[in-house]
Structure 1
Amino acid sequence: MTVFPHDPPQDLARWGLHCFCLHARRTPQGVVRMDGNGRLLWLARAGAARDALPGSDSQLTLLEAFGLIARRGDRWHSTMPMVLATPLRDRLPGLAAPLLPGLVAARGAIADVLAPQGLAGHAPAVVFGHLLDGWFWDVLRARGLLPPDALDLAHPFWRGAVWAVWPPAAGSAGLNMVQGGQAALCMVWADATIADLRRLAADPATLAVLDHPPPGPLVQLPGGPAPMIRPGDPLDRLARQAAGALADAALPVLDDLAPLLPPGIAPDTARVILGHELIWHLAARLLPAPIPAAQAAFLRLDRGFQAPRAVLGQAPQREGHGARPEPSFQRAPWPSNAPCRSSNPMRPAAT
């Protein structure tokens, strides 16, 4: 049950909606926003009889199929955590301050690697997209600390974590990827840059590079040169090492924040929610906002990432992938419903 000390909007469609679900075929945020479902879910936050809920039986069936509501006896209960984030964000500056020096050093080292190619300006995108919103989650996943995300008969659309947060995370970055035959285009977007990045992702020249990436540490995209990250190369090693240290330091912070969440949230889901609040906070202090579109993209060569990442620990094998399963993005310029700001931010699936 979610009980609030004061009144946020009584419609979850107006909240920040986030889904951390790498393999999703369809993410649930769009379902929450359609046909008054956000209001229905709000009314069912503490359980409600059918006659107290608006909408049709087909709406309830859809919400149930997406794992957003469950029937218990004669009452319907919302299953999506509803998080009032102000107490968390008030605590974060003091708790997160010791984490910043290591990340500042990693940002500088990444910029130094990129500088000989004239790409030092891309360091913020690599820090966010490959370290904070990439390897950080891979480390936690390899340690068995995140929810399972493999689709199955019981989870045909998405699996992972979904939550609503109020107030929304203002100005937070998001990561979206377009998967090609051999490489993924990784784009760190904000509202001010999303239109430019959509055009980049849809350009036939970009898609051709994803199928046939050139050798070397950079690639020419329609908007200019961008870094190419390969498994075990200097950029990958720096991001992996910094993310491992960040995970070690972050876990006690997440434990300190956990009592501020509503009761009843599973520990692995709580880590996803709190981990996102943490990396948004860190990114706001480390990186420009927004990252300019011309410096917001990089490529990641997919082949071979599994082997070096296996050293982090044994993770369940999923759908033929190793320790770091790759998201099942469609070959499309952009997902049809808004990118999973994991409204992710962060590490979306095909939203």
Structure 2
Amino acid sequence: MNKPQEIVLAEPRGFCAGVDRAIEIVERALQKFGRPIYVRHEIVHNTYVVNDLKSKGAIFIEDLAEVPPGATLIFSAHGVSRAVQDEARARGFSIFDATCPLVTKVHVEVAKLAREGYEFIMIGHKGHPEVEGTMGQLDSGIHLVEDLADVARVQPAQTEKLAVVTQTTLSVDDAAEITAAVRARFPSIREPKQQDICYATQNRQDAVKLLSPQVDLVIVVGSPTSSNSNRLRELAARLGTAAHMVDSADELRAEWFDGIARVGLTAGASAPEVLVQAVITRIKELGAVSVRKMSGIEESVKFPLPKGLKLDAATGLELAERSPETGASSG
């Protein structure tokens, strides 16, 4: 059978600013306070990243009862409910919040509108930690819809003050379709000034839309728990291109590449570039002879670190506060 000739790299792919920041928060906390550092939930949804941080001294927990008094605790990039925040404070932990600022933006909007008497419809996946964190900002008044059927069934207590919010890592197209259905059923619903789906999710999906028609097969590097990685694989398949998602190069199967001339390669926002390079090496072993990078958006977003974690890389000493513009580092 013919073997692959060319690998085409999607641009952008891999780490986003929120993931960069979350990982750096854990690494700097370890550097400053020593091991162990406790992290509620996987800091980001990637097996390699989590195992790497475990080896450095991070302990990932779901129940705050597993954390000893006085320990340093980090909230994951997905965000947590008010109940978890309150419990963590009550237990006296030293807390650093690695919630992605774009998720925090949704939390702030929910809190603000709730004070004005709004109820909410949230578009998202049940059980995802980001959804649990956002819905957990309020005791009640947020109704989750996962699909069009849910939109038809949802029964808010009132419709005069109703707003819609979205999980940040959804399929852009699915979210638009569900939002349109919500708008049709509740014409006066309030929508965010800027869409909740984050720039990185949008950019990676747009890149796959450009990539898929040019290739015979799409490989997405990402972990099974990663929402945005799953959406990339689904999108490629929906566009008619065979697509597989792998957690590492070890999961690639030689038979996928039989009769394939051109392989498209991308990575979810929580997948590190080291895994992409390992996949490239493996596909080259299967016969690929060239790698071409698509042109695409160059992301320059950086988010500042929390106070108390801005270390000078050379000395390990804490820096004086810098402005957000200069204080952020993607590490």
- Rg larger for: 2
TM-score, reference length from structure 2 = 0.22
